[in-house]
Amino acid sequence: MSELSMRTSAFTHGESIPEKYTCEGDDVSPELTVADVPDDAAALAVVVDDPDAPAGTFTHWLLWNLPADTVEIPEGVPRRETVPDLGDAKQGENDFGDVGYRGPCPPEGDGPHEYRFTLYSLDERLDADAGALRPEVQDELDAKTLDSDQFTGTFARV
């Protein structure tokens, strides 16, 4: 088992997500650092979701087919279906109905929600088309994942 890891300098695992990365702020994706990708990985993927959403798990970001040698995903990845600066990685549609990252935005007064940032190393690139929805991307992730790592942050709106 590898020690695949992903972290952010924006906040500590399990701590509150700064407003900048939420619907209360600039709503930009945080910088992510990737380490110890398995040698046999063909690509990487990132999923951000909220398992505490009232209607069930809410997807905030789908990003896949990042080059396996990616070590940093910069802050503020553009909301485009294909990201040339990240090796033409693809982004899917989040549950807001937009492509790309949309930050935490739980219902006001709902208390803190936990947000999961998950990195996947893949044995082959995903075939999902850019703009795909979570079920299609998840089916491929389930079939092609070598390893994964996850950290969490919390956010609440009063």
Q: How far apart are CA 91 and CA 109, in angstroms?
A: 30
- Between β-strands 43-50 and 5-7, what pairing exists: parallel, antiparallel or unpaired? unpaired
What the block records as the tokens of 146 is: 């070598």
DSSP letter for each residue of 40-66: T--EEEEEEEETT-TTS-EEEEEEEEE
CA distances from 37 to 5, 19, 22 (A): 8, 30, 28
Residues of the chain below pLDDT 70: 1-2
Query: 85: which 2 tokens?
Result: 């600066």
User: Residues 134-156: pLDDT tens digits?
Assistant: 999 999 999 999 999 999 999 99
